[in-house]
Amino acid sequence: MKKQVFNPYLPSWEYIPDGEPHVFNGRVYIYGSHDHFNGWIFCPGDYVCYSASVDDLKDWRFEGVTYKKTQDPLNEDGHMCLYAPDVTVGPDGRYYLYYCLDKVPVVSVAVSDKPAGPFEFYGYVHYKDGTRVGEREGDMPQFDPAVITEGERTYLYTGFCGNGMKDRKGAMAMELGPDMLTMQGDYNVIVPGNVYGAGSGFEGHEFFEASSIRKIGDVYYFVYSSVVMHELCYATSTSPREGFTYGGVIVSNCDMHISSYKSADMPAAYGANNHGGMVQINENWYIFYHRQTNGSWYSRQGCAEKIRILEDGSIPQVEITSCGLNDGPLEGKGTYPGYIACNIFVEKDPFPYIHGDKYPFITQEGRDGDENEGFVANIYDGATFGFKYFDFKDVKKVSLTTRCYISGVFEVRTEIGGPVLGTIPCEFSNVWVKNTADVALPDGIHALYFTFRGSGNGQVQSVTLE
């Protein structure tokens, strides 16, 4: 089997959500926060970085720890977490890392001569009188910074607006001077929070968090997480600080609103919050986002999908898939890990948010940092997990490797609600056991779904196509 790349695109034991992709010197660098496997809070880890050549997105390189949370003078004892960061190249050619700690309302900045660091603390974003932005009376707290530099001007975007927060008006945009720290003038609100959404054009998709900014031609694209959390939306303007209008949803980590393979109001995965950014890699554009694992909000993994930017500048919503950066469907032969399942759901339950062990989920063994491959867990009667997409050619046998207290059959389909093409029996096992059945899959590009019918609760390590 040829080398391929899956979603999540990093190793299955790595938890890097809030991914901001940037291309520097022929490589794509991913800057994100750092969750833990079986984490108890958001973002407890130090920043790490991964990169890949723009010509080979199948080969991601670990760049190491780029910035430790204890490097910030406000956090020398490490009691605060590093939330979602972003990076830009300043007028001096150096790389500036913008981030927020979780218990203070300010934006911190670190700097490095290299895109993968290591970064050193540089200062705090402040007004001209030295007051840190976020600490002046009447300031909204800073959160999830996004940043873009054009010549001597750098534009910074921040904000957090929970449902019903009257003191949080929306996403903020501000200009920084060439020192990358000093705010020029005041900030503008560019996308409203839900309290202020009426009549704005953003109704139902008002700003929640997760600011990200890109410029395509003469148009600024502001990507953000809306009040429903699982979706990344975008707004556009020809000005970096005003005039933004709602564009639509780019991706939902539970595939809500997508009706190409199911009903639009059916969640096909259990999601929660979302954060990411767009990037152009050679001729293609991608959206990076994250998914939830381990039945928890606190163990998130980075995923990516190719997107289209139409002639009118609009971006149609894309499906979440297992193939992501692969530049096409996965080869329909060989063994694939269960953790790349992009669709996981149970029958007759429209709840879209991940919720402990009530639903099936992706997990792994061991502790955080253990390089143990992930798998699908908590499989019970009526549970479905699926993969998109494969290019099948003459597949006659399908196998699932399972274990635990499970007894029954897995129905095999290539579409949700479609005909059963075959069944794979399985029985309780203390160890991983390969279960095989004769199942003829139709040639061509298709999804692959498995629905369990039986008793007990089990786990699925992998699927094999022969």
As a whole number of angstroms, the distance between CA 88 and CA 148 comes to 6
Q: Say yes or no: 280 and 354 in one domain.
A: no
Q: Do residues 211 and 74 share a domain?
A: yes
pLDDT the model gives residue 350 = 75
DSSP 8-state class, residue 153: E
Checking if the pLDDT of 106 tops 70, the result is: yes
In a domain, 451, yes or no: yes
Mean pLDDT score across all residues of the chain: 97
Percent above pLDDT 90 for the chain? 97
* Residues 172 and 288 placed together within one structural domain of the fold: yes
Instruction: Return the SS3 of 257.
Output: coil
Instruction: Quote the number of domains for the chain.
Output: 2
In a domain, 12, yes or no: no
Q: Can you give the residue range of the structural domain that contains 131?
A: 20-326
- Report the alpha-carbon distance of residue 171 to residue 162 in Å, rounded: 12
**Single residue among 291, 326, 361 that ends a domain in this structure:** 326
Are residue 391 and residue 338 in the same domain, yes or no? Answer: yes
In this predicted structure, the answer to whether residue 28 has a pLDDT above a threshold of 70 is: yes
Q: Looking at the annotation, which residues are catalytic?
A: 18, 209
pLDDT digit string (tens) for 346-399? Answer: 987 778 899 888 899 999 999 999 999 999 999 999 999 999 999 999 999 999
**C-alpha distances in angstroms, 176 versus 87, 100, 127, 167, 265?**
14, 17, 9, 24, 42
Same domain, 128 and 211: yes
> Per the domain annotation, does 6 fall within a domain?
no
Residues 303 and 166 in one domain: yes
DSSP string spanning 428-455? -EEEEEEEEEE-PPPSEEEEEEEEEEEE
Output the domain CATH number for residue 78.
2.115.10.20
The mean pLDDT of 303-320, rounded to a whole number, is 98
* Pair 369, 439 in one domain: yes
Do 341 and 204 lie in a common domain?
A: no
Q: Residue 3: inside a domain, yes or no?
A: no
Dihedral of CA atoms 311, 314, 316, 322 in degrees, nearest 10, equals: 90
**What pLDDT is stored for residue 1 in this prediction?**
66
Residue 154 and residue 253 in one domain: yes
At a CB cut-off of 8 Å and minimum separation 6, what does 222 contact? 157, 171, 190, 191, 211, 212, 213, 234, 235, 236, 237, 244
78-91 average pLDDT score: 98
Chain mean position to CA 424? 32
> Do the domain assignments include residue 171?
yes
Q: What single string gives the DSSP state of each residue in 323-345?
A: -GGGSSPEESSEEEEGGG--EEE
Whether residue 7 is contained in a domain is answered as no
Together in a domain, 259 and 374: no
pLDDT at 420 over 90: yes
Query: Is residue 116 assigned to a domain?
Result: yes
pTM of the model: 0.97
Instruction: Over range 172-191, report the average pLDDT.
Output: 97
Domain's final residue, options 309, 326, 343: 326
- What's the rounded mean pLDDT across residues 170-185? 97
pLDDT score, position 9: 98
Question: Which range is least confidently modeled, 111-125, 235-249, 351-365?
Answer: 351-365
How many residues appear in the chain?
466
Cβ-contact 95, 114 below 8 angstroms? yes
**Half-sphere exposure at residue 77, Cβ-oriented, CA atoms within 13 angstroms:** 1
Tokens in use for 12? 């299955």
Is the same domain home to 346 and 312? no
Q: Which of 282, 309, 326 is the last residue of a domain?
A: 326
CATH of the domain at 356: 2.60.120.260
Q: H/E element holding 111?
A: strand 108-112
Examine the domain organization and report whether 222 and 120 are in the same domain.
Answer: yes
Q: Is 8 inside a domain boundary?
A: no
At 68 the pLDDT is 98
